[in-house]
Amino acid sequence: MATEIKMPQLGLTMEEGTVERWLKSEGDAVKAGEPILEITTDKLTNEVEAETDGVLIKIVAKEGSDVPVKGILGYIGQPGETISGTAGNSAPVSKASPSAGTASVSDKTAGPSAPKKILIIGGGPGGYVAAIRAAQLGAEVTLAEKQYLGGTCLNIGCIPTKCLLHSSELVSQIKEQGRDIGVEAEGVTVNFPQVIAHKNAVSHQLTSGVAALLKANRVKVIDGEASFTGPKSVMIKKSDGSSESMTPDAVIIATGSVNAKPPIPGLAENENCIDSTGALSLEKLPASMVVIGGGVIGLELACAYAGFGTKITVVEALDHMLPMLDGDLTKIGVAHMKQMGMDFNLECPVQAIEKSPVGAKVICKDKNGNEVSFEAEKVLVAIGRRPNTASLNLDAAGIDNDRGRIKVNDHMETNIPGVYAIGDCVLGYAQLAHTASAMGEVAAENICGMDAAYDEATNPTCVYIEPEAASVGLTEEQCKEKGIDYKVGKFPMSANGKALILNGGEGLVKIIAGSEYGEVLGMHIIGPRATDLICEGALAIGQELTLDELVATIHSHPTVTEAMRECALDALGRPVHIPPKKKK
């Protein structure tokens, strides 16, 4: 007798799954425990295994079908066996769409007006979050994406970079910290193709999850490139060569940004000059690399490759690096990167790039006006990003912009009613994935009749150098510029037990607070788990918490979070685990 293949329940809240891919075809032999298909649910991709030996005699749920938990996916039986009755022909049951049902039901649920029709251009962390939020609010949502869901962040940005950094940090910990903590390993090597394969696997899992989430929220996804033909009229050129015109009630532009290409002589002609995308897909580990640019992208990738053993030379036209961070954090970060063997050349603008037997020669001028040059196998150009709006035809819509960066208000509205913009493509805001997501929710909520505004005050900046750094709110330098009367608390990671265990106690927590009331104005962290810890500072600023309230909150021991409370105690002048400040 045939055995049913059923949709498994992979979590208490799971109601249905999507058939992603069949690994076997009808008529194929299968063995118990052998994977026969892949399903997706939320952000997970899982394999369904055969429960018995036999032959896959019937596939009921086709690829792309939504099937409820315990719903029938197919049947395993013996060669020549058939399914009795109509069981083998029954279609998988899926949840009815909001528009399903009789006319009378539709009339009742539609209310006084039909759902808003929203077009979102771009499927990155801003676009797909906006799409889901709008769908939650009852809108009829279409998302157009010309390249890949998840955008730069999931495919060629945040996530892939952190994969490389994790692999690199593990190598560094084994080689540099292992012996000290009693873990000795011989012959530790870097299998760079596997590093890249792991990065690709993580990205694929997350982007597949985004596709599943959009489908679960009934967002229509179009594979194509959108451009404006009028104020709210859009033409989408699909990947199959066809076109579709749309005039939705509202449009959200979420096209992000792309790597900037500076007009450096010789750059375009040298195949050994790469951008961040190229740095995330190299086939072999380079022995040396010159990094042009001392910003976040350049230094994160520099740290990753330095950990793998690549000789890194950084050239920066300015006299400082990482300007978005508090100066105390930058000093610690640069000192550590120098310990990793990285060389820094500040006030050293690039003049040209030439061919070299090694790979490429970068010709610069130092701060004294003398010509200097640096040779390496690869040259990473990381001097910033520009808005990805060139193909949108903004002029046809009359959308106000500054060299492609779209001007918006705090509701994310452009100058054209019903047209919104979010993320890296807008003017005057932080270019971060979580910025785009927050803006996406604001735009969706405003379109759907809510009153939402974007507030950058609680927006953290995270820099995944080694050790990682994070910042939210005002820096000490900004307080001085604004004439704010403030006080400072500092707590070294060397006085925190968990930080000592994790990285030897390298790092610092710094809190800026108002002098009179002690309200938290800024928090700045460099050290282990800094990018996870920074949300305490964001919450404190958003809720207008004071130093006293941070101190009154019990922090668990032993954790790095204790450093937050200790830092607040220092700002109040009563530290426990460091000596008190000397009175002036």
Catalytic residues: 557
The neighbouring-strand residues paired with 492 are 508
**Beta strand pairing status for 16-22 and 66-68?**
antiparallel
Say if CB 520 and CB 501 are below 8 A apart.
Answer: no
What burial class does residue 266 get, using C-beta atoms within 10 Å of its C-beta: 0-12 exposed, 13-18 middle, 19+ buried? middle
CA pair distance 502, 187, nearest whole angstrom: 23
Would residue 538 be called left, alpha or beta, if left means φ above 0 and alpha means ψ between -120 and 50 degrees?
A: alpha
- Spatial neighbors of 291 by CB under 8 A, at least 6 apart, are 298, 299, 301, 302, 312, 313, 314, 315, 379, 380, 382
Say if CB 127 and CB 221 are below 8 A apart.
Answer: no
Q: Max alpha carbon distance in the chain (Å)?
A: 93
Query: How crowded is residue 576: how many other Cβ atoms within 10 Å of its Cβ?
Result: 11
Tokens found for residue 227: 């451009």
Strands (E), 254-377: 257-259, 273-274, 288-292, 311-315, 343-345, 350-355, 360-365, 371-376
What is the DSSP secondary structure assignment for residue 519, as one 8-state letter?
Answer: B
* C-alpha torsion sign, points 7, 13, 18, 22: negative
CA pair distance 359, 198, nearest whole angstrom: 27
- Comparing CA positions, the residue from 76, 66, 53, 62 lying closest to residue 5 is 76
The neighbouring-strand residues paired with 119 are 142, 251
